[in-house]
Chains A and B, each alone.
Chain A
């Protein structure tokens, strides 16, 4: 099965789902001829049509990398999601350091290089944005430490 077929099936499902949801979008008081559901319904229909086209006339087989490469892509994606989830809880400095180490390793850095860039970057970017440029970043679990040194 080509990747186009999968994409097409997903598009058909998405169109169907959108149509089902938007069917219920009716305004309580209609004072214009085209209400809130027409445009989403139109889009849903066209998305499903595109999907059908791809199912019946697929043209492309995706060139995914080797298994090893795909594993590092999946790992990297996992760390990006973890970074997003932990960003606020752990605070910028800690989360950035923890993200940079595995991502740096995946991109070919040594342990030493990755740890040093991770920690350094977390601190430097925090001081740059939060302290100097006034873009507020979460301090998280490092907060007591920051207050102690007066940042």
Chain B
């Protein structure tokens, strides 16, 4: 990568902040825009190729973007993942079902409980195990707390990517309060290993509901602070509004789900469309936006945190009593009848799913993890990055909520 002398740098015609480039949205089935591959003549001196490296700016995770720049403007972006490949799907094929349970949570760092829940549900469906009522409610509580923690950190990361570093600290600190709650409940802070096939491992400890209420109040105060500091912030508005516009027609071809899709005005939410756990008994609305730019997505995430807090309060009030775990057959030699299934959940990022295939033996045949940000980081980012200034790329990536551990498990 040669460095350029400033006199040879190409002048940009339009300043990127004011005039966002027109993104072609034609979906000609014969030559769709995503199948067109361009090549750039690097020897001409007009283009510069740099590596937007794997140290994550914000909370994007360890992935890198290979950029081809024309001056300050990105003309091509290629996402490179692979820094966090641990081979979980292969590891699970040589472990018994109960031995798979401690490793699934490590597939996603910010939100490990969704993995545990999905694996447990997939296995329960194939094995025909019924989870008791209270176990289902506790699972929902854990998932909502997890969502609140991950989105709080995500907000912090988004702000930090634009240089609003104090909010980054606040986000991480308040996630820490929630991690303390998890430590009290499950025994682990980040990787809980709490949702086991059959239910949850142990019941809520004494006084847990009061501790949760204290933290929820702290979180509400924080969100009020963030609204004042980040959302009513001239710099943030100037940089984030209009950046990374995703047209609603892109939702289906790119498989965009979650907050990113809802910001574009498409009301898809797994909790409402395919209700799982007890979401059909809880009272909440889909949070919808209209302008699908970075500002809107961030605003929707803040609303999601407040939504999660409301859901957590509802769950704690209405939780029934009873056992929390169904008895499993002896887990040392537990064989599950052959079959395949797909289970999905709404994680903070989007639709997360597990495709579990069993073949009647003690080991799973194939477990395929569909990360929510699989297509966001690979296909969508490469399209959205074209035409924006390199300074804004760091702000664009957290808004897509990329999570490399779940992309490459």
Chains A and B are bound partners: no
B-side interface residues toward A, CB under 8 Å? none
